[in-house]
Structure 1
Amino acid sequence: MAHIMIIDDDLDLLKLMRRALEKVGHTITVQLDSSTVNIQAINQCDLLLLDVMMPTVDGFTFLRSNRNQIDIPVLFLTAKSFEKDILEGFASGGDDYITKPFSIKELRARVEAHLRRETREKQYRLNDGTISADLIQRTFYCLEKPVNLTASEYDICLLLLKNKGQVFSKEAIYTSVYGFDGEGDSQTTITERIKKIRHKFSAYHEQPIQTVWGIGYKWLNDPSNRF
């Protein structure tokens, strides 16, 4: 069975979730505050349940700051159900969310679904054809040669690569990279960043990012179709 970490400042809910998941054979580690959690300890688990509303660092901010180092599925625990909040969760790097209050059956079902779906090896490098991303060095490579991306260009590429085939609007990409407090124009900024990213990858005869007209951008599923 799986090793699951739960980060939530509600002690009663932590106890409830722990009992519910241990009852079906999982090993559970609980934490009350995301700001004190060691990233290495997270990566030793198979799945993270992360509360959104916490007093020190909220779940969205925590994951957005650390997603490039966290190599396991993350399910948000949230009392929010508005579309904007759900989109922010996905833009922060979350794989799914569970809206409070939830039933024990729903909790177990969502956890099991993501554990079945999770096939990623524990690694700090993502590979896609001739392109790879080193999550520790925050560097993309083509044919093992580093691509000279800026920090924001790297974050855009990583978001798309980690969600290969999923289409993201310019606004969603902007929010993921710059947050809701970003002061630039999301349409212009992302258009310019994508243009520069494509120019840098074209030097290696690669074009991994596809425009989906009227919607946004996605990372191509099939490396053989690039360029």
Structure 2
Amino acid sequence: MANILAIDDEIPILELIKSGLQKDGHTVSTYPSVSQIPLEYLNRYDLIMLDIMMPDTDGFTFCKKIRSLVDCPILFLTAKTLENDITFGLGIGADDYLTKPFRIAELRARVNAHLRRETREKHSTIVFEHIKVDLSAKEIRVDDCPVPFTKSEYLICEYLANNKGQVFSKEQIYEAVFSIDGDSDNSTISTHIKNVRAKFNKMGVQPIITVWGIGYKWEQR
């Protein structure tokens, strides 16, 4: 069954969605605001349900922000029924539109239909506030701009990003990235890290932190 995210500032609506979709065996996470959702969690979901009229960040804005970060269907929930709103929502990347008030049977049918026919190519990615690590393409993007890392630099970033918040010594990074077949020694990790940080600095971000006397860690929301 699917892992579903529902965002709506009306708590009774969230309770109704969760209760209804759990009957089909789905796991449903609910949030009353998009500001409470860590972006790196988004790829955990198979479908996202998003209200449009919310007090902090509206659904249209959030959809545009995350559409390039997620592969799953996005369904808008809204009381708006004007045709231009529907057209705009679908044009920025939403897959469907359900107007309030809705019957829970219709919601369940619509969600399950999208899950059955979802055929997008899935990409394994790690998403942070400004940084996306595409594990399939072996590419890192900052605000959707690719960073020109070498193979070794990318592998170091991937390892640290996969273990966000953990501190690793140069020796640990070398062993994890190059293993016993590596063609360099662990002293070169410092050089690789220096080059990586310089490239990130040019992009206006710096996720790799030096923990003096110990090593390095990835620290990015």
Letter in 2 for 1:123: H
CA distance in 1, matches of 2:65, 2:15: 27
CA distance in 1, matches of 2:48, 2:65: 15
RMSD: 2.1
Give TM-score scaled by structure 2 length: 0.56
**Residues 62-109 of structure 1: per-residue CA shift (max 9 Å, x gap):** 111221112211000011111110011012210111011110111011
CA distance in 2, matches of 1:3, 1:109: 16
SS at match of 1:123: coil
Partner residue in 2 for 1:79? 79
Larger-gyration structure (1/2): 2
Q: Identity of aligned pairs, percent? A: 49
CA distance in 2, matches of 1:66, 1:42: 8
Partner residue in 1 for 2:70? 70
CA distance in 1, matches of 2:25, 2:64: 30
CA distance in 1, matches of 2:54, 2:98: 16
Cα–Cα, structure 1 residues 46 and 135, in superposed 2: closer, same or farther, change >3 Å?
A: farther
Q: Is contact 1:124–1:136 with CA below 8 Å preserved after alignment?
A: no
- 1:36 Cα deviation after fit: 2.3
Give TM-score scaled by structure 1 length: 0.54
- 1:35 Cα deviation after fit: 2.0
Structure 1 gaps, min length 5: 126-131, 141-227
- 1:135 Cα deviation after fit: 8.7
Partner residue in 1 for 2:151? none
Partner residue in 2 for 1:120? 120
- 1:121 Cα deviation after fit: 4.1
CA distance in 2, matches of 1:70, 1:59: 15
Cα–Cα, structure 1 residues 77 and 63, in superposed 2: closer, same or farther, change >3 Å?
A: same
Letter in 1 for 2:62: F
Partner residue in 1 for 2:24? 24
Q: How many residues are paired up?
A: 133
SS at match of 1:16: helix
Q: Is contact 1:11–1:32 with CA below 8 Å preserved after alignment?
A: yes
